[in-house]
Amino acid sequence: MADTNKSIHGEWSSRFAFILAATGSAVGLGNIWKFPYITGEHGGGAFVIIYLLCVAAIGIPIMIAETMMGRRGRQSPINTLEVLTKEAGANTNWHYVGWLGVIAGFLILSYYSVIAGWSMAYVIKAFTGSFSGESAAHINSLFADLQASPVQQIFWHTVFMVATMAVVAHGVQGGLEKAVRFLMPGLFILLILLVAYAMTTGAYLQGLEFMFKPDFSEITGASVLTAMGHAFFTLSLGMGAIMVYGSYLPKDVSIAKTTIIIAGADTLVALLAGIAIFPIVFANGLEVGSGPGLIFQTLPIAFGNMAGGWLFGVLFFVLLVFAALSSAISLIEPAVAWCVENYNIERKKACVIMGGFTWTLGLGTVFSFNNWSGVTFFGATIFEALDYLTANLMLPLGGFFIAVFAGRIMLEKHSKEELDLSSDDLYAIWKFLVSYVAPAEVFIVFLHVLGVFGIFS
């Protein structure tokens, strides 16, 4: 019930532990793998600006809403929504938003795990010195070979899924808190090092210009949708991951301040990744729009050519795998918590079932890069379709409903009490953003993509 003080799944040991866990969820492949390649595909600067605006105006208010709802409901997102609707005397259909989130979580994790698997394969490649002194062409062929091999990809996908479910089975609070404490600073230092290398490539300014000099003629409705979808993806919003983490948050923590720290750290990591990668792309005459292989085709060139590159390469891919792991667990935790609550089964058992299901779905992504590359939906491969469906449609839709719920369905008395902001003005700003601005933005972008505006023009 809403007035129960603790979740049956345990609590974070402190505010800092929550910051680490939520940052661990937010910072992942989205920042280092996805952000650079979609920025490349959508023309650079203008796309980055739209993404930053979406983080500020949609992402942060919704992140506050999710954390707040989780902490008040104290259960898995599906059950939290049920508790909160009862408390507000609203229609119980709201818990379907929780279901939408659980499904999105499975779908995202199914391909996330395959990409994390690539990162694991690259730990080995870095370790065995496959990059040292090699040309961009050779590095490209290493990536092409991996993509062409279902066996290698299935192997690493399996290793990653087992690791993820092992952490979740032990309860996300335990080991995670300790691991993320070293991981985040480590990743940060390595990114700074890569930026320093990028400065020596001779194309540093060209890279910066690509990322920060906006050319709005590059922007289409699809770019705006992708930027908005990515704001949800990178902050882990719209499917209940942050909500379930919020449900383990002790009562006395200030939600708004904490959220801004997490979103800030996440954005910084993404920008650093871009600043490191684009100069390498330009200096080696690579294609900015080359897609999901971008970091695997660029960073190894840096590691192959810089002093100490062997060590940094190994460290980088190890840290990337851990960053992916600390994100992956938050994708499945809402489903596992729900299973434990509703069926009273052991966490371990729930993990085996949910993990097995996700692993099987992941095979679709593996084969979409080779044997089934010809299987398409509206011109998109299985991987592309899953990515589009989840990041561009399901997350913004989930976020839309979460925003409306927090702003307009929950009683003001309750959200005010939970947020406990120092000033009423701040509360009013947040409430305006979640009630009107965020939902309206999602709605308008959706209409635009559906071509509704085209009909009138």
Residues of this chain that interact with ligand TRP (CB under 6 A) are 25-26, 28-31, 108, 233-234, 236, 239, 241, 327, 330-331, 395
Beta strands in 355-436 (DSSP E): none
Tokens in use for 293?
């292989």
* Residue closest to ligand TRP when measured from CB atoms: 30
Least spacing, CB of residue 364 vs ligand TRP, in Å: 18
Smaller CB separation from ligand TRP, 203 or 328: 328
Smaller CB separation from ligand TRP, 108 or 340: 108
Least spacing, CB of residue 108 vs ligand TRP, in Å: 6
Q: Residue for token digits 């200030």?
A: 254
Give 1's contacts (C-beta < 8 A, 6+ positions apart): 83
Least spacing, CB of residue 57 vs ligand TRP, in Å: 18
Q: Which of 211, 203, 238, 205 is nearest to 38 (CA)?
A: 211
Smaller CB separation from ligand TRP, 108 or 271: 108
Tokens in use for 313?
């390469």
Least spacing, CB of residue 252 vs ligand TRP, in Å: 26
Q: Residue for token digits 């007035």?
A: 3
Q: Which amino acid is it at 272?
A: L
Q: Which of 164, 209, 199 is nearest to 330 (CA)?
A: 164
Taking residue 135's Cβ as centre, other Cβ atoms within 10 Å add up to 12
Smaller CB separation from ligand TRP, 136 or 262: 262
Smaller CB separation from ligand TRP, 224 or 402: 402
Rounded Cα distance, 199 and 280, in Å: 9
Rounded Cα distance, 22 and 25, in Å: 5
Q: Which of 105, 48, 65 is nearest to 256 (CA)?
A: 65
**67 and 230 in contact (C-beta within 8 Å)?**
no
Least spacing, CB of residue 416 vs ligand TRP, in Å: 27
Smaller CB separation from ligand TRP, 321 or 331: 331
Task: Give me the helix-helix angle, 95-127 and 150-169, nearest 10°.
Answer: 120
Rounded Cα distance, 302 and 282, in Å: 12
Least spacing, CB of residue 66 vs ligand TRP, in Å: 10
Least spacing, CB of residue 387 vs ligand TRP, in Å: 11
Smaller CB separation from ligand TRP, 197 or 359: 359
Give 107's contacts (C-beta < 8 A, 6+ positions apart): 361, 386, 389, 390, 394
DSSP 213-241: S--GGG--HHHHHHHHHHHHHHTT-SSSH
Tokens in use for 333?
């935790």
Strand partners, 380: 377
Least spacing, CB of residue 167 vs ligand TRP, in Å: 13
Smaller CB separation from ligand TRP, 26 or 191: 26
Rounded Cα distance, 242 and 161, in Å: 21
Smaller CB separation from ligand TRP, 233 or 278: 233
Least spacing, CB of residue 152 vs ligand TRP, in Å: 22
